[in-house]
Amino acid sequence: MNKNKKKIFYALLSLLFFQGCSSTSPVKIRATGDLGVIIERATGQVKIVNHTHKTQLSEISGLGDLSHASIVYSRDERYAYVFGRDGGLSKIDLLTDSLVKRVMQSGNSIGGAISQDGKLVAVSNYTPGGVKVFNSDTLELVATIQATELTNKPKNEDGTLKRSKVVGLVDAPNNKFVFSLFDSNEIWVADFSTPKMTLTKFTDIGLNPYDALMTPDGHYYIAGLFGEDGMALLDLWHLEKGVKRILDHYGKGEKKLPVYKMPHLEGWAIAGKYAFVPAVGQHKVLVISTDTWQQVAEIPAHSQPVFVMAQPDNRQIWVNFAFPDNDTVEIFNSETFKKVKTLKPGPAVLHMEFTPRGEHVWISVRDSNEVQIYDTNTLELLKTLSVKSPSGIFFTNRAHQIGL
């Protein structure tokens, strides 16, 4: 066969091959930038969704107890790490709609974080306390950080002393994790920037830190206190300054209502020079100056706030509420603090998530078994998705945010 005939032969062969592939097994390409995961709280399942097209793509089951589940993402947005209340850590592939691996790493866990370089996933535990850190690729255990032993608590069945519950675990710049110890009143910083992990411990930070948040720039870590009024602030740029108490006298002398649900501090809104904070046990949102960390105003609200969240452009603040008034969402202007609108999505509004540029917000309405999608400009309902007992909604742009 001469050279020209060979060229023609291979060209025809290639054409037939690609035509055969396209007709029998077309390649499906899925980008990750507009994907997300919705927790189906009661069923141990999650849904993978596309927020550009407002569609559901798949459902993944077998994830255990998701009654207080949260999610972080790999740097490439391909993998979601699901932290279950039963101590399960699950790795999900958003491109193949599959459960890659699941490990039972404790008896009761409350959340987790992924390191800045994406190589480590850390989980905070209620039982037996402490933090476990895993290789994000294989989910093999890398480190166990044991929490402080509690001398005034009953012993475990094996005779060892019980350890403090760990809450408020977040990632910090330079491959650090920061977390609070509920029972022993501490904040720890675990530094994984070198091969040998180091711990910096701050004690007596206030009674029973129950949750915490990181400011979007990674500068401050703030823990809310359950056992007393006030909050604890740690300047991560200047650890030598120690922990500072802020809002020490908040709530003193006022008649407090029963607390139906503790607000999630990671749902704080940091907008411009203000932090908008849910008031514990009161029908109000506090406005805090991020320059002085002092209260400068308060906003009357429908009921006890749970999440106080800012749109990506920071122009509006969205608030949902605790039982029994959890059918409502209120929207406030972040400059004037005036109410813009009240929405009534339905019973048990548990979570809100804005699309990355903020044109839409997705709202989970658990008792109606639906997720509602609103236009943040017109505040009109655009679409309703049928989802079993939805709670947390997490879009993949979280992969590139600090402190989530």
Q: In the prediction, which pLDDT does 58 show?
A: 97
Rounded to a whole number of angstroms, the CA Rg of the chain reads 24
Strand order in the sheet with 186-191: 166-172, 176-181, 186-191, 198-203
Whole-angstrom distance, CA of residue 205 vs CA of residue 18 = 65
Split the chain (404 residues) into runs of 10 and give each run's mean pLDDT: 55 47 61 96 95 97 93 98 95 97 92 97 94 98 95 75 93 97 97 96 94 91 88 96 87 53 74 87 90 93 93 95 95 96 97 97 97 98 97 97 88
- Cβ neighbours of residue 17 closer than 8 Å, sequence gap 6 or more: none
Structure-token match 């605790």, residue found: 322
Structure-token match 């110890």, residue found: 181
* 212, 223 Cβ separation under 8 angstroms: yes
- Cβ neighbours of residue 187 closer than 8 Å, sequence gap 6 or more: 178, 179, 180, 181, 201, 202, 205, 209, 212, 221, 223, 232, 234, 243
Q: In the prediction, which pLDDT does 218 show?
A: 92
Residue among 234, 134, 121, 256 at smallest CA distance from 188 = 234
* 385, 393 Cβ separation under 8 angstroms: no
**Beta-strand relationship, 349-354 and 360-365:** antiparallel
For the chain, which domains are there? 106-261 (2.130.10.10)
Q: In the prediction, which pLDDT does 247 show?
A: 85
Whole-angstrom distance, CA of residue 324 vs CA of residue 291 = 35
* 195, 208 Cβ separation under 8 angstroms: no
Reported pTM: 0.90
Six token digits for residue 160: 């060892």
Whole-angstrom distance, CA of residue 303 vs CA of residue 306 = 9
Torsion sign across C-alpha atoms 401, 36, 43, 389: positive
Q: In the prediction, which pLDDT does 16 show?
A: 43
Q: Is 24 exposed, middle or buried, given 0-12, 13-18 or 19+ CB atoms closer than 10 A?
A: exposed
Note if the bond before 128 is cis, omega within 30 degrees: yes
∠ CA 200-103-387, rounded to 5°: 105
Q: In the prediction, which pLDDT does 253 show?
A: 46
> How many Cα atoms are found within 13 Å in the side-chain-facing hemisphere of 75?
8
